[in-house]
Amino acid sequence: DAGVIQSPRHEVTEMGQEVTLRCKPISGHDYLFWYRQTMMRGLELLIYFNNNVPIDDSGMPEDRFSAKMPNASFSTLKIQPSEPRDSAVYFCASRPLSGNTIYFGEGSWLTVV
């Protein structure tokens, strides 16, 4: 079975550039989560969706960050413009309607120089 699929796996970009991270959740899962992980702050919830609708975006750091889920099988997290402090691992995860276990993708490792 395919798990949560993220792309790109690794990205190095220059400060000021736009970054788009992509996620395909597990088919049939109703919830999709975007997390960011750094050594200093650990794993932080940025935003989550239920049936493609954003439910809680209180973790989104600032207006430079935006997330969309145009359909049940695809979501994007965009950073524009990117800054060095955005360097982190960004995880996408999904969960079915029933049950509390969430399944993570392998992460997108972002470095902004």
Partner 1 sequence: RKEVEQDPGPFNVPEGATVAFNCTYSNSASQSFFWYRQDCRKEPKLLMSVYSSGNEDGRFTAQLNRASQYISLLIRDSKLSDSATYLCVVNILIYNQGGKLIFGQGTELSVKP
- Residue 19 or 47 with smaller CB distance to partner 1: 47
**Candidate residues 50, 52, 66, 87; the one interacting with partner 1 per rule CB under 8 A:** 50
- Classify each residue of 86-95 as buried b or exposed e, where b means 16 or more C-beta atoms within 10 Å of its C-beta: bebebbbbbb
Residues 2, 20: Cα–Cα separation, whole Å: 22
Closest CA to 46 of 29, 67, 26: 67
- 100 forms part of the interface with partner 1 (CB under 8 A): yes
Q: Count CB-CB contacts under 10 A for residue 102.
A: 18
Site string for partner 1, 5-44 (x = CB under 8 A): -------------------------xx-x-x-----xxxx
Binding residues (CB under 8 A) for partner 1: these are 30-31, 33, 35, 41-45, 48, 50, 55-56, 91, 95, 97, 100-102, 104-107
